[in-house]
Structures are given as C-alpha cells and as structure tokens.
Amino acid sequence: MGGVAPRGFRLADVPPQPWKNGGGVTREIACWPPGAGLDDFLWRISVARIDAGGPFSRFPDVDRVIMLLDGPGVVLRGDIATGMHALTQPLAPYAFPGDVGIDCILQGGMSQDLNVMSRRRRTRASLTVLRDGAALPTASCGMLLAVESTWRVASDEGGDHVLSPSAGLWWAQAPRGWDVRPEGTGPVADGAGLVAVAIEILPSSDGAHMRDAT
C-alpha cells in the first residue's frame, strides 16, 4: 500500500459528521488504511465536539488518547484506573483503553477534544505537546496541529510549512522527522502549543503510550 506525503488541513474545513445520538459531531482528520471504518482501522485521528453528556462508544482492542482543545471540558467516569478523570485542562492528554465503559459529563458547555485511536498490538501511538522548538524523531505516520499559536515546521525530507492556529498536516507510511519552531521568541503561552502525534505500524505485538512534553 502506497504512503501519503504530508497533507495540510484546517479544522474548520474538515467536514463534521453528526453523532447518531445527537450528542455531538466528529471531524475525522485522518484514518488508516484508506477506506477503513470504525471496526477495521489501524489508527484514526479526529476532533470531536461534545454537545451533551453520555456514554462513549466502545472500541475493542483499541487504545485511546483524548485531550481537551477548547471549552470547559468533561469528567470521565467508568472502568478506568481511578474511576473518574477530569478532562478540564487544555492540552493535557489522557490515555485509556477503548474497550471499557465510560460516561462523560459536560462541565458547563460544549467541549472540543482531540482523539487518537490506535489498534492494540498492531500499532503504537504517542502524543506530545510542544511549547518551544524541537527536533521530532522520524515517525512512519503522524500529525502536527497548531493550537492558539503559529508554528514553522520543516521536514527532514524537504519542505517547509507554516501552521497557523487550528491548522495542521498529517502523513501515513511516509516516514518523516520534523524541526518545529514557534513564530516569535521563546516558548508559547499556556493553553497554546503544537500537538505532535507519532504512529508506528508494528511487525509484532506491542502497546501504545502517551507522553506530554512541555
């Protein structure tokens, strides 16, 4: 299967897909392999707008990372390690297994969240939040998304891009490393940053991990 070189996007231009229960909409940024559905994707990156509380869909054998982008956030309750997690701090990733039952409770209004889903034992996904310049290691698949800030990103394969707020790029099966720098001097403010997702397709059993670098 051929790879996909970096493709730019703006969140506002990604078509919204209403939920069947009317509780929100999803904007699918990227899904692999092409044409895969919710039952057979290897990995999927999307942004969800949650308008009403309710249960999360279960995804057997899938690991998930969720992160608040905008809004007052939600509280997650269910079969997670602590029983409850407040997803109320922007750009603070939270990892959990997609198999478990979870309900979300809105905390005062609409919540917009980034979701990364990766098929367990077949892929490994990491999510990093950057607030200053860095050299990102090579990843076979991934995404970069600017949040409340503008970034210059340069690929080790050639090609420079400027990512304005809520703009990004993604790639698949086309290994890239990146040099990323915020415009201006010094780190960006709290609540702003560059979200970097790196995904590897595994030849053998492995897990998923998540880290937050500030």
CA angle, residues 206, 65, 25, in degrees to nearest 5:
135
The parent domain of residue 94 ranges over 14-119
- 38: domain CATH number is 2.60.120.10
Residue numbers of the chain with a pLDDT score lower than 70: 1, 81, 204-214
Residue 6 belongs to a domain: no
Residue 147 belongs to a domain: yes
Q: Are residues 54 and 85 in the same domain?
A: yes
The distance in angstroms from the start CA to the end CA of the chain is 35
CA–CA separation, 16 and 27 (whole Å): 5
Residue 108 belongs to a domain: yes
Number of domains in the chain: 2
Over residues 78-105, the pLDDT tens digits come to: 887 678 999 999 999 999 999 999 999 9
Nearest-CA neighbor of 143 among 35, 2, 11?
Answer: 11
> pLDDT at position 195, please?
98
Q: Are residues 134 and 191 in the same domain?
A: yes
- Listed in sequence order, the residues at least 6 apart from 184 whose beta carbon sits closer than 8 Å to its beta carbon are none
- Listed in sequence order, the residues at least 6 apart from 137 whose beta carbon sits closer than 8 Å to its beta carbon are 177, 198
Put simply, whether the predicted model's pTM sits higher than 0.85 gets the answer: yes
Residue 207 belongs to a domain: no
CA–CA separation, 161 and 2 (whole Å): 23
